[in-house]
Each structure stands twice: as C-alpha cells, then as structure tokens.
Amino acid sequence: MHVKNTFYTTTITVIIVSLIISLSLAVQIATSRQQSIQQINTSVANLSHTLNVYTEGIIRQSEMLITTVSDTLEIYGMTPQQAINIQRMISNQDNLLTQINNVVVYDAQGDIFTALHETLAGPRKGADRSFFVYHKENKSQQIFIGEPVISRTNGKWVITISRRLETHTGAFNGVVVVTLGIENFLTLYGQINIGHAGVIGLTTQTGVLLIRYPFKNTYIGTIFSDSPLFRKYLKVQNTGIASSVSRFDKIERIYAYEKNSRYGLVTTVAVSADEALSPWRKQAIQLALLIFVFTAILIVASYFLYSDLSRKTRDNKALKIIASEDALTGLYNRRIFDE
C-alpha cells in the first residue's frame, strides 16, 4: 500500500509539473507568435509609408513640370518658338527626374506639338490614348493619372500623368503628358527585402493596378475595385494592416496599405504569411519537442522509480520472512512472538 501511495503521489507530481511546464511553454509560443505578427505588421506598414512618400514625390515633381509647361503654353500660345523653348526646358528636367520616360505636348487634334523624345516607335498621334479622351471630355485642369500603357517612345510600360490645355476662352486645346517608366519603380521595389513570395503594388484610387512587383504583363491594368481592400478597408481608413489570399497565385499574405492623401494612389506591401511566420514556426516546433522530451523523461523516471520501490518492497518482505522463521525448522522464532 505504501508503494502504491508513493507511486500515486509521484505520478500526480509529475503530471502537475509537466502541465505547468507545458502551459508555460505554450504561453511562450503564443506570445512569441503575437510578437512576430506585430513585428511583421510594423515592418510592412513602415515600408508602405516610405514608398507612398517616395511615389508622391515623383508625382509631385511631374505635376510641377506639367503645370509649368501648361502655364507657359496657355500664356504665350502654341507657336513654333514656344515648341523649341518647351523642349529645351523639359530637356533640363530629364536629368533631375530620372523616372521620366517622355514628356509630350499634344494639340487639340492629338498631333505632337513638341516632345522630350520625338523619335517614336508607334503612331505620332495621341488622340486614341485614354488620357487624351479623358481631358477632351472633362473640363477639369487637375492632373489625371491614367491606366498603364505601352510607350510609343520605346515600347516599355509607363504610367501617364497628364493635364488639359485650354485656350483663353476655356476651349480644349490639347494635353501635356508625362510618362513615368514602370521599370524604374520595379528596380527600386526589387531592392526591398519582402521575401520570396512578397508583393509590392501601386493602384489608382479607383482600383486600377499600375505597378506590381514581381512584374507580369497580365497583371498590369487589373481592376481591384471589388477586392476587400477597396470594398471594406479603405472605406474605414486610409492606412492599415490586413490579410487576404491573392487572386493571382492563391498565396495568403499579410499586407499594409496606405492611400495617398494628395493623389489617391494606394501603395501596398505584402509578405507571405507562411514565409513571414517561418522563424516563429521553427521556434514553436523546438519548444514542442522540448515539452515532449521533458515529459518523456519524467514518465521514464517515474517508471524506474516505481520499479525501484516495488523491488525494495519485495526485498523487505523477504527479509521480514527470513527474520521471523527458523531457517532449520521453518517454525516461527522468538522474534515473531515478541512482536
């Protein structure tokens, strides 16, 4: 009975100690996961903000150039001399804003009045371009950020930033457009460590995808207005953290988004949830193995303790019998009667 009580006590102690240690390690695993997620959130949020500021700076410089060209043409008119002056002015800006692919001024018919690079690989008229149609139909002289198009200068993907030109009477008089090479943005994005399955995106406020890294032609111009980001999150706040499964590759990602207050462009930086939590997962597996090994050691130790106690009990019983009987006759000796 004494052995059983000792064994039960030992077993209960082992179970309690195992539970306490297991619970402590489980809490540590959960806390570590929460901290990892918080670090991921902070990292992608900082990146999205930084890229948002960078993009705004590029667009703002482009807007200033467009405004200068527009004001000059509306004041002095679209004369041959002004075409030369404008080309000289935008040539000086080409070295300052390296993202510029081309600067083109179209007249009211869509013919090129002047351009930074006049050697074109495609049609010289711009009347068929979406930005030209937009400005012809809309009287606003605010800049318009259009859908990505393939440049007729060098055949590369570009973002268009344009503004309507008007006569003194307010009639449509053409368009000034700055095209920014997507390739330049991709070069910058490629220098940022977002993991093997990370994604950086730039969309318009209506949900048109302008840039996506890693780049793929079929992604450009995709409409995201029906995504949770535009249907749900951006309606609540302009910055935040969310997670979703990509419609392109079906990978679950944690992403930060920020909508630019001036131009409405939405910058997103996303990392694969599986990849981002990989370090935590390795640590959790190590701790789980530690719990298993520790529990196994306690169980084995308890088994050997019980075996040792059982052996000692049997030995004690044998000694007691030897001490109580006469070895020659097998009869109880005097010791048993004294007891």
Q: Yes or no: say if 69 and 85 are a contact pair by the CB < 8 Å rule.
A: no
Spatial neighbors of 262 by CB under 8 A, at least 6 apart, are 56, 59, 60
pLDDT at 319: 62
Is residue 258 very low, low, confident or very high in pLDDT (cuts 50, 70, 90)? very high
Please tell me which residue, 283 or 256, carries the higher pLDDT value.
Answer: 256
Q: List the structure tokens of 281.
A: 């997962």
Is residue 132 very low, low, confident or very high in pLDDT (cuts 50, 70, 90)? very high
pLDDT at 290: 77
Question: How many angstroms separate the CA atoms of 80 and 246, rounded?
Answer: 51
Is residue 208 very low, low, confident or very high in pLDDT (cuts 50, 70, 90)? very high
pLDDT at 8: 66
* Section 200-227 average pLDDT: 93
**168-195 as b/e: b if 16+ CB within 10 A:** eeeebbbbbbbbbbbebbbeebeeeebe
Please tell me which residue, 249 or 234, carries the higher pLDDT value.
Answer: 234
Q: Yes or no: say if 213 and 199 are a contact pair by the CB < 8 Å rule.
A: yes
Question: How many angstroms separate the CA atoms of 200 and 253, rounded?
Answer: 11
**Residue-averaged pLDDT of the chain:** 85
- Residue 329 pLDDT > 60: no
- Residue 122 pLDDT > 50: yes
Helices (H), 77-147: 80-94, 130-137
pLDDT at 61: 93
* Section 235-260 average pLDDT: 92
Q: List the structure tokens of 37.
A: 């997620």
- Secondary structure class of 241 (helix, strand, coil): strand
Q: List the structure tokens of 162.
A: 């344009």
Please tell me which residue, 187 or 296, carries the higher pLDDT value.
Answer: 187
Rg (CA), the chain: 38
* Section 223-248 average pLDDT: 92
Phi, psi of 268 (to 5 degrees): -125, 140
Question: How many angstroms separate the CA atoms of 130 and 179, rounded?
Answer: 13
pLDDT per position as a tens digit, 262-320: 999 999 999 998 888 777 778 778 777 877 787 777 777 777 766 766 776 666 666 66
Helices (H), the chain: 2-76, 80-94, 130-137, 182-189, 228, 234-236, 273-276, 278-324, 334-338
pLDDT at 14: 67
Strands 100-106 and 172-181: antiparallel
pLDDT per position as a tens digit, 96-115: 778 899 999 999 999 999 99
Is residue 16 very low, low, confident or very high in pLDDT (cuts 50, 70, 90)? confident
pLDDT at 106: 95
Residue by residue, DSSP assigns 257-318 as EEE-TTT--EEEEEEEHHHHTHHHHHHHHHHHHHHHHHHHHHHHHHHHHHHHHHHHHHHHHH
Q: Which domains does the chain have, with CATH numbers?
A: 58-181 (3.30.450.20), 190-277 (3.30.450.20)
* Section 204-216 average pLDDT: 94
